[in-house]
Amino acid sequence: MSLLVVGSIALDSLETPAGRRDEVLGGSASYFSAAASFLAPARVVAVVGDDFPAAHLQFLSARGVDLEGLVRRPGRTFRWKGRYEQDLNVALTLDTQLNVFAEFQPDLPAAYRDSEHVFLGNIDPELQLAVLDQVRRPRFVGCDTMNYWITSRRESLLRTLRRVDTLFVNDAEARQLAGEPNVVKAARAILGMGPRAVVVKRGEHGALFFAGDEAFASPAVPLASVTDPTGAGDTFAGGFMGYLAASGRLDLRAMRRAIVVGSVLASFTVEDFSLDRLRSLTPAEIRARYEQVRRLAQFDDLEAGVLRGSTGG
- How do 91-97 and 42-49 pair as beta strands? unpaired
178 touches 151 (CB < 8 A): no
Nearest-Å Rg of the Cα atoms of the chain is 20
DSSP letter (8 states) at residue 227 = S
91 touches 230 (CB < 8 A): yes
Task: Verify binding: residue 223, a second copy, rule CB under 8 A.
Answer: yes
81 touches 95 (CB < 8 A): yes
Going residue by residue from 137 to 176, which x/- string records binding to a second copy, judged by CB under 8 A? ----------------------------------------
Name the active-site residue from 234, 251, 272, 300.
234
**What is the rounded distance in angstroms from the CA atom of residue 32 to the CA atom of residue 235?**
5
Is 234 catalytic? The answer is yes
Going residue by residue from 268 to 297, which x/- string records binding to a second copy, judged by CB under 8 A? --------------xx--xx--xx--x-xx
CB of 73 to a second copy, least distance (A): 27
Task: Verify binding: residue 229, a second copy, rule CB under 8 A.
Answer: no
237 touches 278 (CB < 8 A): no
CA 200 to chain centre: 11
| Residues composing the chain | 313
**What is the rounded distance in angstroms from the CA atom of residue 299 to the CA atom of residue 283?**
26
Task: Verify binding: residue 94, a second copy, rule CB under 8 A.
Answer: no
Task: Verify binding: residue 225, a second copy, rule CB under 8 A.
Answer: yes
CB of 309 to a second copy, least distance (A): 6
CB of 58 to a second copy, least distance (A): 10
Residues with a known catalytic role: 234
Q: Which residues bind a second copy (CB under 8 A)?
A: 37-41, 62-64, 86, 181-185, 188, 202, 204-206, 208, 215-220, 222-226, 243, 246-247, 253, 256-257, 259-261, 282-283, 286-287, 290-291, 294, 296-303, 306-309, 311-313
